[in-house]
Structure 1
Amino acid sequence: MSYVLIPVLVIMMVLVVISLVKGIAAFMQSTREDLERPESAGPSEMQLKQNKMMYARIMYQGIAIVVVAILLFASR
C-alpha cells in the first residue's frame, strides 16, 4: 500500500509547490492600479487567480495530510 501512497504524496507535494509559485507569480503581476482600485470595481483578474491558486494549494496540502495519516496508520 505504501508503494502507491508514497508517489501520491510526492505528486501532492509537487502540486503544492506549483500552485504556490503560480500564486506568487500572480501576486507579482498585480499592478499598483489593482491595489488602488475602488472596492466597488470588484476583484481583478490577477486577484481571482491568486485566490484560485490559494484554494488549490490548500486542497493539495489537505490531500497530502490525509495521505500521510493513512501511511502512519498503515505502518502500525
Structure 2
Amino acid sequence: MQTFLVILLVAAMIATLVALIRGIVAFLKSASDEAHGISTGGPSASQLKSNRMMQQRILFQALAVLIVVVLLFAAGRT
C-alpha cells in the first residue's frame, strides 16, 4: 500500500511540474502578444489556457499534499 502511495505521490508531483511549466509558457505567450499590441478585447486563448493550467497545478498540489498526509498517517500507525 505504501509503495502505491509513493508512486501516486511521484505522479502527482510530476503532474504539478508539467502543469506549472505549461502555465508559464502560456502566460509568456499572452504577455508577448500584449507587448506586440495583439489584443482581442477580452481574454485571449493563451490567457485562458494559462489560467486553466494554474488551476490544474493547484489541484495536483492539493492531491500531492493529501497523499503525503495519508502516507504520514499510515507511517504513524505502524
| Structure 1 runs (4+) greater than 3 angstroms displaced | none
Question: Aligned pair 1:22/2:22, yes or no?
Answer: yes
Paired with 1:8 and 1:54, the residues of 2 have a C-alpha distance of 20
- Structure 2 regions of 5+ residues with no counterpart? none
Percent identical among aligned pairs is 40
Paired with 2:11 and 2:69, the residues of 1 have a C-alpha distance of 16
CA distances 1:41-72 after superposition (whole Å, capped 9, x unpaired)? 22110100010000000000000000000000
Give the match for residue 73 of structure 2: 73
Give the match for residue 6 of structure 1: 6
How many pairs align?
Answer: 72
The amino acid across from 1:20 in the alignment is L
TM-score by length of 1: 0.87
Give the match for residue 46 of structure 2: 46
Q: What is the aligned-residue RMSD (CA, Å)?
A: 1.3
Paired with 1:55 and 1:27, the residues of 2 have a C-alpha distance of 13
Give the match for residue 55 of structure 1: 55
TM-score by length of 2: 0.85
- Structure 1 regions of 5+ residues with no counterpart? none
